[in-house]
A and B are shown apart, each in its own frame.
Chain A
Amino acid sequence: DAGITQSPRHKVTETGTPVTLRCHQTENHRYMYWYRQDPGHGLRLIHYSYGVKDTDKGEVSDGYSVSRSKTEDFLLTLESATSSQTSVYFCAISGGTGQTEAFFGQGTRLTVV
């Protein structure tokens, strides 16, 4: 696996609480992404980053925020967790522009009760 670490790997939290997921890479790749995976929906992009402090929204960004203060770290925050945010979250990285592959972390399974 490429040098991507997601933490935590599993988390159970209560509705209304803030949650932060961390993605750490050791590849010095420029692009970082947060996806969520739900049955029947494949992977959907939440937010992405194309450099330190450069982030933008993806397809399903409502209720999520991100920060990237260092090249190696990309944080995903659920501002006030809801049951609809129960999902498996994947971080991915990509090195170049245009025609390069993405490398994925192992995922974080989040349950909001």
Chain B
Amino acid sequence: SQQGEEDPQALSIQEGENATMNCSYKTSINNLQWYRQNSGRGLVHLILIRSNEREKHSGRLRVTLDTSKKSSSLLITASRAADTASYFCATSFNNAGNMLTFGGGTRLMVKP
């Protein structure tokens, strides 16, 4: 079963608009990460937020984490056509294998 669930499953916006994706998870976590996947490629790490952090920024990305609600959001500001991809949240909890558990992803399409 998936630990994280992304919402929405698909999102279509115009270039220049902001895109917000949400992730909910079920158990306590050590950290939460967001990844991006372009069609036919592997996943690329975007940003990591620790369980004791509430907000983090990286360029046009803003991630929030609410551990009381077991949820996170990824905001991409001023989107570009090149941001078109699938975005996944992944959770990590204290375990011997340092494993990540992924959600089903949000497919983002940014129209030029």
Contact = CB atoms under 8 A, between A and B. Distances in A.
Interface of A: 1, 31, 33, 35, 40-45, 48, 50, 56, 58-59, 90, 92, 94, 96-107
B94 A98 contact: yes
The 6 tightest CB contacts between A and B, nearest first, are: A104-B42, A101-B45, A42-B104, A43-B102, A104-B43, A42-B102
A48 B99 contact: yes
B100 A102 contact: yes
Given A101-B45, A105-B42, A107-B41, A50 B100 contact: no
A106 B37 CA distance: 10
Contacts, number: 73
Contacts of B92: 98-99
Contacts of B99: 33, 45, 48, 58
Which bracket fits the contact residues of B? 20 to 34
17 contacts: A33-B100, A40-B104, A42-B104, A42-B105, A48-B97, A50-B98, A59-B1, A90-B42, A92-B100, A97-B98, A98-B92, A99-B92, A102-B45, A103-B45, A106-B41, A106-B42, A107-B42
Contact of B103 (A1, A42, A103): A42
B73 interface: no
B18 interface: no
Interface in B19-36: 30-31, 33, 35
Given A56-B97, A58-B99, A42 B88 contact: yes
| Interface hub of B48, B94, B102 (most chain A Cβ within 10 A) | B102
A33 B102 CA distance: 13
A89 to B, nearest CB: 11
Nearest to A55: B97
Interface in B41-76: 41-45, 48, 50
